[in-house]
Each structure stands twice: as structure tokens, then as C-alpha cells.
Amino acid sequence: MLGTTGNDTILTDTTSGTSLQAMRQATKDVFYTTVNSAAFENYVPGAIPTWQSTSYIIEGVVAALAALAVLGEVLIIRGYLKKKKVATKR
């Protein structure tokens, strides 16, 4: 009925009661497996998981480094242009 391996397993019959019941059961099984897995272990509503807060920190560090790189490029270009301007005046 439904799968992830090519066109042979795509859901084609969406009107049959048997097909709909099988899809409901499959969805229920997937949700049950997900909720009872480690994905929701020690889950506290409203809390940010450790992996997510770590990724926020890493993204912040990368953004700061990128900003410093851009600032450095701007300063290097400005210094070059000043030296070029002084050299052309002589």
C-alpha cells in the first residue's frame, strides 16, 4: 500500500475502507514507536533539548567568525585603498 521504495508501493486506493483502516493503523504504529523511543525520553514540555541548544551555540560561533572575517576583509581593503591613495599623491 504505502512505502518508500519506488512507485510499486505508492498508495493508490484511497477510497476503500480496508485501505483507510490500514493507513490509520500504520500511522498509529509509527506515532507509538516515535513517542516511546529515546526521542521523547526525559521530555519536559517547553525545555530545549541539549542537542538543540548545542547547535544554537555552534551556529552563533560560526556566525561570529563569519562576521569577523567580513570585518577583517573590509579593514584590509580600506587599508589597501588608503595606501594606494597616499602612493598616488606622491
Please report the pLDDT score of residue 9 as a whole number: 61
Domain count, the chain: 2
Instruction: Please indicate, yes or no, whether residues 38 and 66 belong to a single structural domain of this protein.
Output: no
Instruction: Please indicate, yes or no, whether residues 85 and 67 belong to a single structural domain of this protein.
Output: yes
Instruction: Please indicate, yes or no, whether residues 72 and 84 belong to a single structural domain of this protein.
Output: yes
Please report the pLDDT score of residue 5 as a whole number: 61
Instruction: Please indicate, yes or no, whether residues 88 and 75 belong to a single structural domain of this protein.
Output: yes
Residue numbers of the domain that contains 58: 46-90
For 46, left (φ over 0), alpha (ψ -120 to 50), or beta? Answer: left
d(CA 28, CA 21): 11
Instruction: Please indicate, yes or no, whether residues 37 and 58 belong to a single structural domain of this protein.
Output: no
Per-residue pLDDT reduced to its tens digit, 53-73: 999 999 999 999 999 999 999
Confidence of residue 85 (pLDDT cuts 50, 70, 90): confident
Please report the pLDDT score of residue 48 as a whole number: 82
Per-residue pLDDT reduced to its tens digit, 12-59: 777 888 888 888 898 899 888 888 777 667 777 788 878 889 999 999
d(CA 90, CA 85): 9
